[in-house]
A and B are shown apart, each in its own frame.
Chain A
Amino acid sequence: MHLHPIDLLIVVAYIGGTIAVGLLARTAIHGISDFLVAGRALKTHMAAATMVSTGLGLVTVMYMAQEGFVNGFAPFIVGVIATCAHFVIGKTGFLVSRLRHLRLMTIPELYEIKYSRGVRLLGGCILGLAGTLNMCLFPILGSKFVVGFTGMPEAWTNPVMIVLLVIVVFYTLMGGMVSVVLTDFAQFVLLTLGFAIGTYCVLTHPDLGWDVIVASLEQHKGADAFDPISNISYGWTFVFYFIAISFIGTLWQPEVSRPLSSADSEVARKIFWIQGLTAVGRAVIPMFWGAAAFAWTHLPSYTGAYAADGQSAVPEMLGQILPVGVAGLLLAGMFAAFMSTHDSYLLAWSGVIVRDVVSPIKAMLACSDQSRGEDNTWGGLSSEKEVYWTRFCVVLLALMLALFGMFFINRLPETAFKWMYLTGTIYFAGTVGTVLLGLYWSKSNAVGAYCALILGAFGPLNFLIMSMVPESVPAAILPFVENSNLTNLASLFLGGFGMVVGSLLTQKSHPPRALSFSGMR
């Protein structure tokens, strides 16, 4: 291990401070709305900081960096599209204003208000499945960063992952969303400092710099490293898919929980506007690091172990080029980023599983009313029980993540970046019908919602299964299995199509429920 004691001291001080804050935050939790959405009391800048932080986890840095390592600068287009989408949402309040106005905690709650308890249950199951699969890569990628950065032996990857998970679970169990908000803010500052200094070191290193990186990409990858249209991993199909997903991506539970936690709809919109200013940088800076790591591993003087491993090459490069003190600062920032994303996601998915799967089942068995109580519950579990089971699910999910990291990481069908969007689409495709059309099309009904959820989830799940047995795939559906771009785009279309056809055919037997947005700012 080549980490200096001063760097270690910085990391240990950060971890100690974080745990103290988690203990302090515990006193602020009095019910499920405190635990999941911090009592809906977040102001603009704090909410923006926490939302940017959640989107800038260690896993984000890792999968964006891997994308830069594999595809050069071509994936920069992802950041440009994301920023444009955030600006449009911030300006118009598209989706978020209406969701915040309805005082929701999770998206499947909308399904109960607009459609039925059964739709909420199915939507909760699909969201929980998509979220869990999506998150499976997080701990192992975080661990790979720590191992690569510090120069620990590669065999320590799994034990390091377990230690990191134990710390983050403890922290999340303590203070719920209040802890999340406070860690996010620390990460926001620390990681930005790390980004700035790390990028400066890459640009000014005698063996690297912008021109060297560009020349290396051109020499080894050719035009594909710069042109996202000619690059087979992207192309127009991906561009169209990513434009759509950048808007629908707003509905990802860990992301949407910030606008839902905000003081009002106006704050919710402002958060997106501010996040838009950072969205392109959050993608482009780690991708640039990935491209730099590619150039680094192709230097004649390179003697490291990760020349073909885009996930580990970046931390290895950073660990070697950063000066003492800065390395500790970046590692603390990355650790904060690891915690920030994990606590947000663990909380979000556990909240969905308890509030949108377990609680509705209990309510259905008890035949209780489909209305929201004063304590923000829906006739199933009580507020205290929901907090208890959410905490239980946090632990259960962490165990699943550890197992996935240990046994599945080397069997991914594509890059980590593509895995994130493929698994996310299991849920996003259904929301095109259930949420987008549900909020803006008065004829959307429960039957349409079932069709949207089932048809939308089918494509990505089919891709995941088929890619494990490629030799058994029929020739007719081969284009949908060779590359996830076409599957993802087609699934978004199917989600909307299912809602339109299902609703139009059953308007009389299942009259749509109207939502009221009067008084919305």
Chain B
Amino acid sequence: MDISAWKSVWSLVFTVSSIMFYLTVAIVAYKGAGDVAQMIREMMAKR
């Protein structure tokens, strides 16, 4: 592949990977927040 083709590939990889990364983190953080809250509640109860 020539340089211009690699540039296009990496531009696409950067865009897609950023979208995947931020979207996944947002969803996981939203769903995982409940689990974290529950873990802290249980620790407080033991205390």
Contacts and interface: CB of A to CB of B under 8 A. Distances in A.
Contacts, number: 106
Contact of B28 (A45, A73, A195, A218): A45
Contacts of A278: 20-21, 24-25
B43 A46 contact: no
A181 B1 contact: no
A179 B18 CA distance: 29
A285 B13 CA distance: 10
Contact of B39 (A181, A226, A227): A181
A182 B16 CA distance: 29
Given A73-B10, A185-B32, A226-B6, A178 B21 contact: no
A24 B44 contact: yes
B3 A79 contact: no
A102 interface: no
Interface size class of B (residues with CB under 8 A): 20 to 34
A289 to B, nearest CB: 11
Q: In the complex, which of the residues A79, A188, A277, A285 has the most CB atoms of chain B within 10 Å of its own CB atom?
A: A277
Contacts of B1: 227
Interface string A1-35: 00000000000000000000100110110000000
14 contacts: A45-B31, A185-B29, A185-B33, A185-B36, A192-B21, A192-B22, A210-B11, A274-B24, A277-B23, A278-B20, A278-B24, A280-B20, A281-B20, A284-B17
Interface size class of A (residues with CB under 8 A): 35 or more
B43 to A, nearest CB: 5
Nearest to A21: B40
Given A46-B36, A46-B39, A226-B10, A285 B21 contact: yes
Contacts of B36: 46, 181-182, 185
Given A42-B35, A182-B39, 17 more contacts: A28-B43, A28-B46, A46-B39, A48-B28, A48-B32, A52-B25, A73-B6, A73-B7, A76-B13, A181-B36, A189-B25, A192-B21, A192-B22, A192-B25, A218-B3, A278-B21, A284-B13
A384 B18 CA distance: 44
Interface in A185-225: 185, 188-189, 192, 195-196, 199, 210, 214, 218, 223
Given A45-B31, A185-B32, A226 B17 contact: no
Main SS class of interface, A: helix
A281 B36 CA distance: 24
A226 B32 contact: no
Interface in A252-281: 274, 277-278, 280-281
A285 B10 CA distance: 12
Contact of A214 (B7, B21, B31, B32): B7
A80 interface: yes
A199 B33 CA distance: 25
A43 B29 CA distance: 13
Contacts of B24: 274, 277-278
A293 to B, nearest CB: 16
B40 A24 contact: yes
A178 B13 CA distance: 35
A282 B14 CA distance: 11
Contact of B13 (A28, A46, A79): A79
A47 to B, nearest CB: 9
Contacts of A79: 13, 17
A196 B3 CA distance: 28
Given A227-B3, A281-B20, A76 B25 contact: no
Q: In the complex, which of the residues B7, B14, B31 has the most CB atoms of chain A within 10 Å of its own CB atom?
A: B14
A332 to B, nearest CB: 16
B43 A226 contact: no
Given A24-B44, A49-B28, A280-B21, A226 B3 contact: yes
A188 B25 contact: yes
